[in-house]
């Protein structure tokens, strides 16, 4: 197995999903915890974006979390997270990740930091984010995972963002009308995989 180095920040959702895929794929990786206030020069030399995660492996630099996940799953994917023979599941996965990364993340940032976006009250941003939560809830009414009958890329790519949204106001989320999504999130937060990648 190739020796890899991942520049990461423990609480960053993009870095979380990259770490989960790398661990699941059993890639041996040295994790460098980055201080966002003092980013290491060697990371900036690899990727001028200056954002985590950044993976250095076999002379390659991969600085997008989804690309890191794809690379990891190409090495080893024992539970078929890529849904290789499931075209519908692959299409749904792509759609969900697109909506999460392009739309939901925007509402999440505003909901989490409403003081930076005083144009609207916090509840407005939460309601905008809830459109996506509602979609996930409907998918989870039909099965235990988002894109297939087992855990896949869709679940792991979205999990850190749903977690962040839920943790802005935990009391609100606990009583919100998303019982299937709450169960899905809880199951992941208690999973061996998530606990391992969040260990300090």
pLDDT 10s digits, 98-146 = 999 999 999 999 999 999 999 999 999 999 999 999 999 999 999 999 9
Q: Do domains 4-78 and 87-192 have the same CATH topology?
A: no
Q: What value does the mean pLDDT take over residues 78-92?
A: 98
Q: Tell me the backbone φ, ψ of residue 120, rounded to 5 degrees.
A: -135, 155
Q: What is the mean pLDDT of the chain?
A: 96
Q: Above pLDDT 70, what percent of the chain?
A: 99
Cα–Cα distance measured from residue 85 to residue 5, given in angstroms and rounded to the nearest whole number:
31
Domain map (residue ranges) of the chain? 4-78, 87-192
pLDDT band at 174 (very low <50, low <70, confident <90, very high): very high
Q: Which residue in 52, 70, 5, 54 sits closest to 31, CA to CA?
A: 5
Is the model's pLDDT at 1 over the cut of 60?
no
- How far is the C-alpha of 19 from the C-alpha of 51, rounded, in Å? 15
Q: What confidence tier does 3 reach under pLDDT thresholds 50, 70, 90?
A: confident
Question: Which of 34-43, 70-79, 96-105, 188-197 is predicted with the least confidence, judged by mean pLDDT?
Answer: 34-43
Instruction: Select from 153, 184, 154 the least CA-distant residue to 166.
Output: 184
Per-residue pLDDT reduced to its tens digit, 14-59 = 999 999 999 999 999 999 999 988 899 999 999 999 999 999 998 8
Q: Are 33 and 10 in contact (CB under 8 A)?
A: yes
Q: Which residues pair with 54 in a beta bridge?
A: 7
How high is the pLDDT of residue 2? 59
- β partners of residue 61: 56
| C-alpha closest to that of 132 among 81, 171, 90, 176 | 176
Report the CATH number of the 87-192 domain: 1.20.1050.10
Report the predicted TM-score, pTM, of the whole model to 2 decimal places.
Answer: 0.96
The fold of the 4-78 domain, in CATH, is Glutaredoxin (3.40.30)
* Best CA proximity match to 130, nearest among 150, 104, 149: 104
Instruction: State the residue for tokens 């679940």.
Output: 155
User: 171 and 20 in contact (C-beta within 8 Å)?
Assistant: no
Q: Within the chain, how many helices (H) and strands (E) appear? A: 10, 4
């Amino acid at each position: 197995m190739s020796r890899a180095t991942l520049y990461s920040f423990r609480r960053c959702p993009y870095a979380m999903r990259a770490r989960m895929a790398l661990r699941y794929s059993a890639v041996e990786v040295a994790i460098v915890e980055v201080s966002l206030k003092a980013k290491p020069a060697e990371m900036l030399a690899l990727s001028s974006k200056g954002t985590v995660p950044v993976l250095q492996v076999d002379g390659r630099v991969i600085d997008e979390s989804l690309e890191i996940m794809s690379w990891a799953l190409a090495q080893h994917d024992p539970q078929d997270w890529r849904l290789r023979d499931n075209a519908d599941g692959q299409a749904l996965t792509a759609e969900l990740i697109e909506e999460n990364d392009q739309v939901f993340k925007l509402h999440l940032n505003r909901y989490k930091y409403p003081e930076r976006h005083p144009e609207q009250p916090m509840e407005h941003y939460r309601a905008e984010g809830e459109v996506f939560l509602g979609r996930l809830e409907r998918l989870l009414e039909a099965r235990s995972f988002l894109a297939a009958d087992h855990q896949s890329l869709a679940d792991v790519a979205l999990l850190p963002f749903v977690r962040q949204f839920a943790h802005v106001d935990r009391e609100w989320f606990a009583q919100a009308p998303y019982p299937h999504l709450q169960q899905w999130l809880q199951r992941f937060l208690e999973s061996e995989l998530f606990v391992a990648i969040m260990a300090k």
